[in-house]
Amino acid sequence: MPKITLEVSEELSKKLAQVGDALRQATSCLRLPELLALSLQQPAVLAQVYRYILDFLASNPTPEQIAEFKPTPEMQERLRTLLTRSNAGELTPTELKELDEYERIEHLVVMIKAGNLSKIWV
């Protein structure tokens, strides 16, 4: 696999390290490079969702904050729209891919929460 070296600020370096640590704690099957690759492959709206998740993880959230983590109202509205259109059989192929990706994102968030919720109940 090719290796890419980037020069980033000290602050960004620390945030990226925190994201990597949070992802390792949440799941052993997903790594930061994979999450970054997914964000680059997605339409702008989904890239914003992945950035939202990355920013949250980079903030080094507490287990309680992880348990309370949820999509923004805009994300919730977009998902409602896609589900309504899906139920009516009106999704375009692009919208179907977007809805599928929201399902993957939901799975990611569930894995993150499951990996950290035990700390709350101990």
Per the listing, tokens 């375009």 go with 92
CA 39 to chain CA centroid, nearest Å:
9
23 within 8 A of 31, measured Cβ to Cβ:
yes
69 vs 17, more confident:
69
Region 20-30: what's the mean pLDDT? 52
Q: What is the pTM (predicted TM-score) of this model?
A: 0.58
Encode pLDDT of 36-70 as tens digits: 665 555 566 777 888 898 888 888 888 889 889 99
